């Protein structure tokens, strides 16, 4: 019996390596002016870890990682490097993730986004845009719908309603629902005893008039195309939906994804 449980936990951990993108990646190789490592205190008194890449640009792009991820994930680093041609970059760890303190509860993470946006605004940037992956997309929608003070929002592989993905991620929801599972997840995310998952589809229409791009992979086994279509249909203009053939859930992102983000941001913020 014990051997069977160990095998199951081992298989789960292997899955977490894939889902969370726990594979190391070389850092940004392009010469930069400076990297400022700092912490910010959110309005509800949680300390979050932030990296600010200063290239001397007049605009800034904030990158928000997915659930069980952090600002060191390869896809965050890759997109940071690609966008550095036009933008300063800010990355951060959500509460309960990476080097940030606190625990994930599914209800207060938008405060993390607010702390970073407020910091960027205080630095005097002309335009502030946000790219959110999965969880980052959820919180980006909630933040933009509530505060309306960013210039563009991109969501990537973002569920319209997390409850819908239970059928394809039963193992994850099982882990979230009990103490043993939350202990297994602790190296990747520190959880509240009863975490909730928001339903961004209920507020996405309030993002307008902020331009919204919804990106979804056709091969995503966690968040399907129907969820992206739900977000897109419920959102108001200006909005765009891009389905990328062959793209899976982050961290597996093809060249077409990076090109799409670069092109759309350049066009929408001219």
Which tens digits make up the pLDDT trace of 200-258? 999 999 999 999 999 999 999 889 999 999 999 999 999 999 999 999 999 989 999 99
SS3 188: coil
State the burial class of residue 179 (Cβ atoms within 10 Å of its Cβ: 0-12, 13-18, 19+). exposed
Cα atoms found within 13 Å of the Cα of residue 33, Cβ hemisphere only: 11
Helix (H/G/I), strand (E/B), else coil: 94: coil
**106 occurs within a structural domain:** yes
pLDDT of residue 5: 47
CB 203 within 8 A of CB 256: no
Examine the pLDDT at 191 and tell me if it is beyond 70.
yes
pLDDT at 186 over 50: yes
CB-count exposure of residue 61 (10 Å: 0-12, 13-18, 19+): buried
Q: Is 7 a residue whose pLDDT tops 80?
A: no
State which H helix or E strand residue 15 sits in.
helix 2-20
Look at residue 25 and tell me if it is in a domain: no
Residue 24, domain member (yes or no): no
Q: Torsion over CA of 213, 27, 73 and 115, rounded to 10 degrees?
A: -70
- Work out how many domains the chain is built from and give that number: 1
Task: Round to whole Å and give the CA distance between 29 and 22.
Answer: 20
> Does residue 236 lie within any of the structural domains?
yes
Q: The domain spanning residue 208 has which CATH number?
A: 3.40.50.1820
Q: Which residue has the higher pLDDT, 37 or 33?
A: 37
DSSP class of residue 236?
Answer: P
pLDDT at 257: 98
Cis, bond preceding 209 (omega within 30 deg of 0): yes
Q: How buried is residue 5: exposed, middle or buried, by Cβ count under 10 Å (0-12/13-18/19+)?
A: exposed
Q: Is the residue at 60 inside a domain?
A: yes
Question: Could you tell me if residue 123 is inside a domain?
Answer: yes
Asked if residues 251 and 23 have their Cβ atoms less than 8 Å apart, the reply is yes
Partners of 63 in the β-ladder: 91, 131
pTM of the model: 0.88
Quick check: is 52 in a domain?
A: yes
- In which band, very low, low, confident or very high, does the pLDDT at 22 lie, cut at 50, 70 and 90? very low
Per the structure, the complete domain to which residue 242 belongs is given by 34-165+190-268
Residue 166 pLDDT exceeds 80: no
* DSSP bridge partners of 154: 131, 213
DSSP H stretches of helix in 51-197: 74-83, 110-122, 135-147, 170-176, 179-185
Residue 177 lies in a domain: no
Q: What is the mean pLDDT of the chain?
A: 89
- The radius of gyration of the chain from alpha carbons, rounded to an integer in Å, stands at 18
């Amino acid at each position: 019996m014990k051997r069977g449980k160990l095998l199951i936990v081992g298989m789960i951990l292997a899955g977490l390596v894939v889902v969370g993108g726990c594979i190391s990646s070389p850092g940004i190789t392009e010469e930069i002016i400076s990297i400022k490592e700092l912490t910010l205190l959110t309005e509800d008194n949680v300390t979050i870890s932030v990296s600010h890449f200063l290239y001397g640009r007049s605009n800034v792009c904030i990158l928000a990682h997915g659930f069980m991820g952090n600002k060191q994930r390869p896809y965050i680093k890759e997109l940071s490097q690609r966008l550095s041609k036009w933008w300063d970059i800010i990355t951060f760890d959500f509460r309960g993730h990476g080097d940030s303190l606190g625990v994930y509860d599914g209800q207060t993470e938008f405060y993390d986004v607010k702390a970073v946006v407020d910091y960027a605004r205080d630095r005097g940037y002309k335009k502030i845009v946000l790219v959110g992956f999965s969880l980052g997309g959820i919180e980006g929608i909630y933040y933009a719908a509530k505060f309306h003070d960013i210039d563009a929002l991109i969501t990537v592989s973002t569920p319209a309603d997390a409850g819908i993905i239970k059928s394809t991620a039963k193992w994850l929801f099982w882990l979230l629902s009990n103490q043993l599972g939350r202990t297994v997840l602790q190296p990747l995310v520190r959880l509240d005893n009863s975490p909730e998952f928001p339903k961004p589809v209920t507020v996405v229409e309030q993002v307008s008039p902020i331009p919204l791009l919804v990106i979804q992979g056709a091969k995503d086994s966690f968040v399907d195309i129907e969820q992206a279509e739900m977000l897109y249909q419920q959102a108001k203009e200006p909005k765009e939906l891009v389905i990328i053939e062959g793209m899976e859930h982050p961290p597996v992102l093809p060249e077409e994804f990076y090109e799409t983000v670069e092109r759309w941001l350049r066009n929408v913020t001219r």
